[in-house]
Amino acid sequence: ESIDTTTAFWKAMLQIMWVFAELERDMIRQKTHSWLRIKKQEGWLAREIFGYKRDENDYPVIFDQEADVVRMIFRMFVYEEHKISEICNSLQSSNIYTPTYALNAKIWSKKAIKRSNKWPYAWNDWTVRSILTNEMYIWLYYYNKSERIPHPSRKWKYKQIDLPKSQWKKSNKVHVGII
């Protein structure tokens, strides 16, 4: 039987179906956000952080090989007073993998890494600066640093905004810091 969407009855039925579909989507989103909020309070990592790997429950544990690189970056910056560009040059000349490449090396097979055409030692200022400013390395794990808000000009798009540090939340779980 075909549905005639030009009649008032079927228009109303389609609108009701649309309302229930939207309700279900919003409920799934709300449950997902609640679950993520609880997991982050417990110290669960939503993404990989250079210097750490995830245990079987997705909680961070120190990955010694990368942690040594993080310690070297902090030592060069804080104690030896190197500029960030000098740190980048030193890491590149020592053939130390960048965090992005190291993450992919954890996931990809060896053949896939060899086929990759990106230079794995391309450290840049932004990468080193993000390591130096990440509180996770000094025993702190903050979440709720940003928020998604509806985009002002696009109906179904969202915009990510950074929240002030006073609104950040600290994880209840104490992690072992690298520094």
Measured at the CA of 66, the angle between CA 63 and CA 70, to 5 degrees, comes to 120
In the numeric block, which tokens belong to residue 112? Answer: 């896939």
pLDDT in tens, the chain (179 residues): 677 888 899 899 999 999 999 999 999 989 988 888 787 777 676 677 888 888 887 778 888 888 999 999 999 999 999 999 999 999 989 988 888 776 665 555 555 555 554 567 788 898 899 899 888 887 777 777 888 887 777 776 778 888 898 888 877 776 678 88
The answer to whether residues 148 and 157 touch, using CB atoms and an 8 Å cutoff, is: no
Q: CB-side exposure of 54: number of CA atoms within 13 Å?
A: 14
From the list 35, 38, 55, 34, the residue with the least C-alpha distance to 172 is 38
Spatial separation of the C-alpha atoms in residues 70 and 177, rounded to whole Å: 11
Q: Would you give the distance in Å from CA 60 to the centre of its chain?
A: 13
* 169-170 vs 158-162, strand pairing mode: unpaired
DSSP string over 5-21 = TTSHHHHHHHHHHHHHH
Spatial separation of the C-alpha atoms in residues 147 and 160, rounded to whole Å: 6
From the list 134, 145, 138, 133, the residue with the least C-alpha distance to 169 is 145
The answer to whether residues 45 and 58 touch, using CB atoms and an 8 Å cutoff, is: yes
Q: pTM (2 decimals)?
A: 0.63
